Amino acid sequence: MSRVYNFSAGPAVLPEEVLKEAQAEMLDYRGTGMSVMEMSHRSKAFDEIISQAEEDLRDLMQIPDNYKVLFMQGGASLQFAMIPMNFMKHKKADYIVTGQWAKKAYQEAQKYGTANKIATSEDKTFSYIPDCSDLPVSEDADYVYICENNTIYGTKFKELPNTKGKDLIADVSSCFLSEPVDVSKYAMIYGGVQKNIGPAGMVIGIIREDLISEDVMPGTPTMMQYKTYADNDSMYNTPNCYCIYMCGKVFQWIKRMGGLEAMKMHNEKKAAVLYDFLDQSKMFSGTVVKEDRSLMNVPFVTGDKELDAKFVAESKAAGFENLKGHRTVGGMRASIYNAMPMEGVEKLVEFMKKFEEENL
């Protein structure tokens, strides 16, 4: 069968040429006579894979030398606990809650100290980003936390919050490598890779070195201390070898595509095709205020639950997968990550126009 257009929010679409490369190397990785799935993480072949992956990521993001790149398991959700366990030195942190994942991180942090919700967009179902230019940042806060792109609700911070000198920690799971970032503006930037970079099962953390120390909360498990990963080049235990290998291939694919500037232009063009249609449609409408729209996740509705359900069913039959919206928003959501080709978005809009004509 032919490949579908996969609009899943994660695990999500991967570049076809990356999948083909991995397919070609599945049984014999570069003359080793084995798959990367089978090889020792202590082998020379794998050491080259992880070293090259880190080098390419540093190159793509222009990561400063005083930041560590850590490949960790447990996904972004484990970071909700690891961050306060490692960084809540004064038992206080400020959280900006703009969606379900920031809310979960905020709730988890409450187990380890005082987590202050200093701004939120909960009043309008997280359909906008609150003004973060002059927030009540706590004087003794250890950090300010955001989820930069909200996968479920389709919002994105276009400007980073004014943290008034406090360290900024950002979950960038669903916008990772979608556009250039200035890493030096963050104390820590991290994300699960299963949305824009690789298969599920890993999170990449980029952390300023001065934050990584043995001074963590009493009882913090060895595998939940950033120092464990930093001191052992992410190989204190067996890492997610195959995921690192696949991420490395995606980093190289992004380089071939022209890097993060080119990727941003590609993503802006794709998003414009869909948003432009939503803005003039008589049936469909976006759920996010225009100035805060994500380039990666586009939620939309018809305003009629039965019609939404009909659209999801018919779109699936037409080869468009995973367009059903999250239960908290309803309707539909198209996740159009880096690897979604322009053709996929154009075909989706064609289908939406046809559906509108037939059902108005």
Sign of CA dihedral 189, 190, 191, 193: positive
Give 197's contacts (C-beta < 8 A, 6+ positions apart).
176, 177, 191, 204, 247, 250, 251
Q: Is 104 a catalytic residue?
A: no
| Distance between first and last Cα of the chain | 33
Indicate which residue of 171, 249, 270, 324 is catalytic: 171
Indicate which residue of 68, 92, 101, 167 is catalytic: 101
The label of the residue with tokens 């030096």 reads 184
3-state secondary structure of 348: helix
Q: Is 171 a catalytic residue?
A: yes
CA 154 – CA 286 distance, rounded (Å): 9
Q: Is 253 a catalytic residue?
A: no
Task: Assess contact for 139 and 244: CB atoms under 8 A.
Answer: no
Chain CA centroid to CA 269, Å:
20
Residue type, 245: Y
Indicate which residue of 92, 156, 195, 249 is catalytic: 195
CA 307 – CA 305 distance, rounded (Å): 5
CA 185 – CA 178 distance, rounded (Å): 17
Residue type, 314: E
User: Which region, left, alpha or beta, applies to residue 185 given φ > 0 means left and ψ of -120 to 50 means alpha?
Assistant: alpha
CA 57 – CA 190 distance, rounded (Å): 13
List active site positions.
101, 171, 195
